[in-house]
Amino acid sequence: QQQVKQSPQSLIVQKGGIPIINCAYENTAFDYFPWYQQFPGKGPALLIAIRPDVSEKKEGRFTISFNKSAKQFSLHIMDSQPGDSATYFCAASPHTGTASKLTFGTGTRLQVTL
The binding site for other proteins (CB under 8 A) comprises 6, 32, 34, 36, 41-46, 49, 89, 91, 93, 95, 97-99, 101-107
Smallest distance, other proteins to C-beta of residue 53, A: 14
58: left (phi over 0), alpha (psi -120 to 50) or beta: beta
Name the residue nearer to other proteins (CB basis): 17 or 49: 49
Q: Which candidate, 46, 114, 55, places its Cα nearest to that of 80?
A: 114
Nearer to other proteins, 76 or 95 (CB): 95
Q: How far is the CB of 114 from other proteins (least distance, A)?
A: 25
Region of residue 41 (left: phi > 0; alpha: psi -120 to 50; beta: else): left
69 Cβ partners below 8 Å, 6+ apart?
Answer: none
Minimum CB separation of residue 113 from other proteins in Å reads 21
CB-side neighbour CA atoms (13 Å) of 110: 28
Between 10 and 67, CB nearer to other proteins: 10
Nearest approach, Cβ of 52 to other proteins (angstroms)? 13
